[in-house]
Amino acid sequence: MSESFRELLETFENPHPNRDYQIDTVCPEFTSVCPMTGQPDFAHFEFEYIPDVSCLETKSLKLYLWSYRNEGAFHEAVTNQILDDLVAACQPRWMKVTGRFFVRGGITPTIIVEHRAHATEEA
């Protein structure tokens, strides 16, 4: 679904790689398409992460998210795909993606996915 979308994501060097700090970014205007009905789905996305070596560049994140506007995807699939793509791009120590989808048919789903980097053991 988003193999070509992933190419839109850019990163920059973390200015403080020796410190844990959290970056929070909000996208209140996410849109995709319901794969069942073809109707637009709207969502408010929140991205929280602790960077390691690199940080996500926000303009590229915006362009990446816009690329979903005409893509059919279930809420659960698109939220997990976004997490996978963001983790692949910047390899954070920790990341959480929350997709708060707008009401449709009286139901308002929220999908929360999380990634934690595996701690490496020293020999």
Residue with tokens 């999908």: 111
d(CA 82, CA 118): 20
Question: Could you confirm whether 34 is annotated as catalytic?
Answer: yes
d(CA 113, CA 75): 11
Question: Could you confirm whether 55 is annotated as catalytic?
Answer: no
* Active-site annotation holder among 41, 55, 85, 90: 41
- Residues with catalytic annotation? 34, 41
